Amino acid sequence: MKAHDGNPLTNFYQLGLDVLALCLFNGSYSATEVAEFFNHYKKNYYFGGQFSVDTGAMAVLALTCVNRSLTNEQIKADKNLKKIDELISFLVEKIMSEKKENGLIGNTFSTGVAMQALFVSSNYYNESEWDCQQTLDTILQEISQGVFNNPTAAAQILPPLMGRTYLDVEDCPYVSGLDTFNISNHVPESERSNSSSLIMVYYSVVINETYSINVTVPNGSVFLDVMKAARKKNETTFGFTMEQSSWGPYITSVQGLYANNNKRTYWELLSDGKALSQGVGSYVVHEEENLEIRWSTY
């Protein structure tokens, strides 16, 4: 991070996971550096101009673990403890500000980590500020509609459904064979749609200018199918590359322009001008929808 202007090689959500893992399993880390790395409010926790609930929530979990470790060591006068305490207070306030009328916090997929963060930071807000039951009811409804079919999404929401958090992890037995275990997020076309009808959608690539095209895809197609259909029509304008992750495929480049964590650039997915919370391989498109992939910074 010091070699890249304070930016991690992945992202600040992953940095939260890193610190949490080191803290839970008694790894070597510096509380002073933790307080420093998590302290740049705007830079760390905003994504496309919007506060990133899941990034903030993961930071709360990591900082709470570090906070407890310092407290357990009876270093109550340590200046790091005060800094970390102030950081947790700030992040909890921001997370609370992202509550929606239906109980979700941020979006559907950030709510699981947000619930965990609020579970471990209950002394930083009043009980009346968050209706946990409403959030739970909404999440259960989303689950019944198949929203959490992705294993990673399910893993994030499962702990709070059981009244637990990642801080409850104490030890994990070694599981052999992980190096040969592959996660497939491909959903067969027959499972995605009960209809063979075609729909037309509008698709645009936005860099310094806008490149648009109309494409026809089977009903039930996902955003990635639209991108592939556009690429077939014009490889130069709509060509792209992607990589697989536990959340499914994500776009690494369009027109040869690659996202770069160190430069804080990425490809943002939008529908009718609004950023999507689902990935390119899971968001199901609709008739005459205006889809866009935009070169953005965070």
Question: What residues are designated binding site for cyanocob(III)alamin?
Answer: 10-14, 54, 107, 156, 250-251, 267-269, 276, 298
Which run of H or of E encompasses 217? strand 210-218
Q: Characterize the bridge pairing of strands 210-218 and 198-206.
A: antiparallel
Would you say 291 and 270 are in contact if contact means Cβ atoms under 8 Å apart? yes
- ∠ CA(146), CA(149), CA(152), 5° rounding? 140
- What's the number of CA atoms in the CB half-sphere (13 Å) around residue 170? 0
> CA 132, 135, 136, 137: dihedral to nearest 10 degrees?
120
Which run of H or of E encompasses 88? helix 79-97
Sheet holding 274-275, edge to edge: 210-218, 198-206, 290-297, 265-271, 274-275
Would you say 258 and 252 are in contact if contact means Cβ atoms under 8 Å apart? yes
Q: Distance between CA atoms of 107 and 278, rounded to whole angstroms?
A: 10
Q: Which residues are annotated as a binding site?
A: 10-14, 54, 107, 156, 250-251, 267-269, 276, 298
- What's the number of CA atoms in the CB half-sphere (13 Å) around residue 121? 34
